[in-house]
Structure 1
Amino acid sequence: MRIVIALGGNAMTGPDGSASVDAQQGAIASAAGPIADLVAAGHDVLLTHGNGPQVGNLLLKNELAAAVVPPVPLDWCGAQTQATIGMSMMNALETALAARGVARRTAALVSRTLVDASDPAFHQPTKPIGRHLSEEEARVLIDHGQDFVEVKGKGWRRVVPSPRPVECLDAPAADALLALGYVVVCSGGGGIPTVRRDDGTLAGVEAVIDKDSTAVIVAEHIGADALVIATDVDHAVTDWGSDHEAPIGEVTAARMRQIAHEQDFAEGSMGPKVEAVTSFAERTGGVGIITSLTQLLPAVEGRVGTRVRPD
């Protein structure tokens, strides 16, 4: 099978949320094992990932140095974190594959995601990023053209557009590398947000793209048989946190749409994951899976996880 795996950015930090170099490399090394197991079982794998904690570190550096050095724009932050995480993943995956006697190479793409320059999100930035600042700290960044809103009792926080992804511009390169036998890391952080100018040229923009939505587009572009959203639970559940909590196993896309309507999954948590796997099943005829990182192979084999199949 050709499989796309979407890892959350927090899967690349320490158990306590630490984003130190050692903590990130340790977490990536732990993630590499289950991914290598899939490759060893004969599957072709494209890996995408979040980058929230890593971009957060860069934003903090922007804030601390804003009076001295112009802040790095978000598209640059995305590119930098893609390269750093991609390099770390390549090293960890090649080590894990070698330990399993698998002679497969890895490749990481600094990759762009096309968004529509006329997307309404650009006219009303709402996605909060970074930490809360004092008004004085925020004013320096506002003078650099950034948007901030005041959060009562907490301070000022930056908001940016979150436009809908339209196309993975570098999917053809990922497809070619997969065909050559590479394990590919692509579209980290939802991809570098990019618009097409009136003259046809491309340019990065200040925005954040939902990584799970981009994973669906990437999986569709490369003809994936399965999209796996790797999270910290073995499966999605109904009535979460109640005495009636129950796992969601294998369901049709239509049934999952019904469950999502009834359950109102959290927008910042399970909601986007459920939408991604359901949309993938509807659009491609493949299987969308939600499971934990440690259960990747059993979930692909149908033994665990929430599995959404076409109607």
Structure 2
Amino acid sequence: MKTVVVALGGNAILQPKQKGTIEEQMANVSYSAQQIVKLIQAGYRVVVAHGNGPQVGNILLQNAAARDQVPAMPLDVCGAESQGLIGYMIQQCIGNELQKAGLDKQVVTLLTQVVVDRDDPAFRNPTKPVGAFYSQEEAEKNMREKGETWIEDSGRGWRKVVPSPMPKEIKEIETIRTLVENGVVVIAAGGGGIPVEKKGELLAGVEAVIDKDLASSLLAKQLGADILVIATDVSHVAINWGTPDQKNLERLTVDEAKRYLEEGQFGKGSMGPKVQAALSFVEGGVFLLRDIVVADAAGFAGRP
């Protein structure tokens, strides 16, 4: 039986221009769950990973709004909180769809820690904006008192930026493997995982954000999955995107993907990490054949 890792993007949970109510998010996730259950019905063992951008952003906004009443939580804790929030929605929706299909399967959400390397260059050059916008005065105070990095963001105010290091190890991989081998549908590595670093034999949370596609690729590799599906909000990977010369790509060789990445054909904050994740998965395994699908999220993003 083949194992497939499905990486759901943010659009699978919250569509553009939606407010983010629980009703909206549950409706989106419910449709994605229907497509995931189709994979289960087709005989695949399924692991689901997901993004958390809008949700963790909202958690940070809530932290900021209530900071005079309750202590604000660090980013790794907010990421863990978002894993529980989104995992609950996905777990319930998949369970409901399994029930409708008459399938007796367990679904579980696993809080997932992902180890990063403190020597990663990303820690010397934080670039990932997180949280609310603040005044220059507040930003400078945080930089001075907390040693944080803040940037002015497009005239809208100042925002904190954090590192986005490469994922090195899925800490709970053996637990995930055991669950999958026993027929459980597992939701893991949400939001790229909770970033942690090793301090001797112990772990400690890190103020960082891990790209969810790269984490999903690492999860698929360490699990020995046969297929990695990365759901997107566009129909194709393309070169010359948004120009009259745009060319949609149905298939890519490893060499072609590397060349296009070097040429800057894929956006660093959009398709680039997805193609990089695909390359890492295809090249990283002991299997002679692995499949990677960068799929239109119509089937996974809450819309027919």
**Does TM, normalized by the shorter one, top 0.5?**
yes
Question: Aligned letter for 2:78?
Answer: C
Equivalence for 1:88:
89
Equivalence for 2:295:
291
3-state secondary structure, aligned to 2:266? coil
Preserved CA contact (<8 Å) 1:10 1:52: no
Question: Aligned letter for 1:47?
Answer: V
How do residues 159-308 of structure 1 correspond to structure 2 at under 5 angstroms? 159-198=161-200, 200-262=201-263, 264-284=265-285, 285-295=289-299
> 2: CA distance between counterparts of 1:30 and 1:152?
35
Q: Relative contact order: is structure 1 or structure 2 higher (C-alpha 8 Å, sep ≥ 6)?
A: 2
The one-character-per-residue Cα deviations of 1:158-212 (angstroms, maximum 9, x if unpaired) are: 11111111000011111110001011100001100001113x1111111111111
3-state secondary structure, aligned to 2:6? strand
Q: Which moved more, 1:26-35 or 1:93-102?
A: 93-102
Question: Aligned letter for 1:292?
Answer: D
Q: 1:263: Cα distance to partner?
A: 5.4
Preserved CA contact (<8 Å) 1:63 1:141: no
- Evaluate the alpha carbon distance shift between residue 224 and residue 150 of structure 1 in structure 2; reply closer, same or farther with a 3 A threshold: same
Length, aligned pairs only: 295
The one-character-per-residue Cα deviations of 1:1-40 (angstroms, maximum 9, x if unpaired) are: 2101111123211452322221111111111111111111
Q: Which moved more, 1:180-189 or 1:243-252?
A: 243-252
Preserved CA contact (<8 Å) 1:234 1:295: no
The one-character-per-residue Cα deviations of 1:246-280 (angstroms, maximum 9, x if unpaired) are: 32112321222223334521111111111111221
3-state secondary structure, aligned to 1:193? strand
Equivalence for 1:8:
9
Preserved CA contact (<8 Å) 2:241 2:265: no
> 2: CA distance between counterparts of 1:69 and 1:295?
40
> 1: CA distance between counterparts of 2:195 and 2:148?
16
Equivalence for 2:48:
47
The one-character-per-residue Cα deviations of 1:127-164 (angstroms, maximum 9, x if unpaired) are: 11123222345467555664322346222111111111
- Evaluate the alpha carbon distance shift between residue 12 and residue 141 of structure 1 in structure 2; reply closer, same or farther with a 3 A threshold: farther
Query: Please, what TM-score do these two structures have when normalized by structure 1?
Result: 0.88
> 2: CA distance between counterparts of 1:28 and 1:180?
25
**Where does the alignment leave 5 or more consecutive residues of structure 1 unmatched?**
297-311
**Where does the alignment leave 5 or more consecutive residues of structure 2 unmatched?**
none
The share of aligned pairs that are identical, in percent, is 40
Question: Aligned letter for 1:7?
Answer: L
Query: Please, what TM-score do these two structures have when normalized by structure 2?
Result: 0.90
> 2: CA distance between counterparts of 1:216 and 1:50?
13
Preserved CA contact (<8 Å) 1:14 1:26: no
The one-character-per-residue Cα deviations of 1:190-238 (angstroms, maximum 9, x if unpaired) are: 100001113x111111111111111111001111011111011232122
- Evaluate the alpha carbon distance shift between residue 162 and residue 260 of structure 1 in structure 2; reply closer, same or farther with a 3 A threshold: closer
> 2: CA distance between counterparts of 1:7 and 1:114?
21
